[in-house]
Amino acid sequence: MTRTVIKAALAISLALGFSVAALALSVDQSKTPVVRNFGEQELHFYRWTMNFNDPNISGTTGGQKFGAMLRNTFINSIACHVTTAFNGTTPQMTIGTALGGTQILAATGAGASIDLTSATYQSATSAAGLGLSATSTADVTIYTKFVVTGSPTQGSVTCVMAFTPPIDM
């Protein structure tokens, strides 16, 4: 009898643990992201995962905000690992300072785009928004968006954007 109660309690706690873990990955789009600044001269980063079926992630007006940066933040790099290849026609990802604003990572361009059709690690070495170009005029909110034609049924990518805030100015 005691073993049955212990097993039932363990099963319930596992189920609750998994549901809490799933909530930890969702981002509330009604909140404005807070700027990260550790107050030290060190590399900061945002890490996020984008799935083909995330709400508001695709379309002409879609997009998810995931971070914020101070004016004159230096964007060091963008690297992504496509863990599950996206299907659909020419799936692409953009990262920008607004849904239609300055692009940090454009959908296309040699060395500046992420190929979502193959499950590999990739680095956007020549993205237009690296350096200060995307943050030189004001504090910005950072968005990501999935661009595709057709109806994808799979795909997941985890990205890291490394940056250095202007704490020495």
Its domain, for residue 45, covers: 35-164
Domain count, the chain: 1
The verdict on residue 146 lying in a domain is: yes
Would you place residue 24 in the very low, low, confident or very high pLDDT band (cuts 50, 70, 90)?
Answer: very low
The verdict on residue 94 lying in a domain is: yes
The verdict on residue 128 lying in a domain is: yes
The residue type found at 165 is: P
Mean pLDDT of 15-42: 62
The verdict on residue 7 lying in a domain is: no
Residue 49 CA to residue 55 CA, distance in Å, equals 13
pLDDT for res 29:
67
Residue with tokens 């990262």: 95
The verdict on residue 108 lying in a domain is: yes
pLDDT at 20 > cutoff 60: no
Edge-first strand listing for the sheet containing 74-84: 44-51, 156-164, 74-84, 121-123
pLDDT at 19 > cutoff 60: no
The CATH number of the domain holding residue 66 is 2.60.120
Residue 164 CA to residue 26 CA, distance in Å, equals 25
Q: What's the predicted TM-score (pTM) here?
A: 0.72
Identity of the highest mean pLDDT range in 64-73, 86-95, 99-108, 117-126: 64-73
Q: Spell 33-69 as b/e; 16+ CB within 10 A means b.
A: beeeeeeeeeebebebebbbebeebbeeeebbbbbbb
pLDDT for 104-138, tens place per residue?
887 665 556 788 888 889 888 777 788 888 888 88
Residue 22 phi/psi, 5° resolution?
Answer: -65, -35
pLDDT for res 113:
73
The verdict on residue 9 lying in a domain is: no
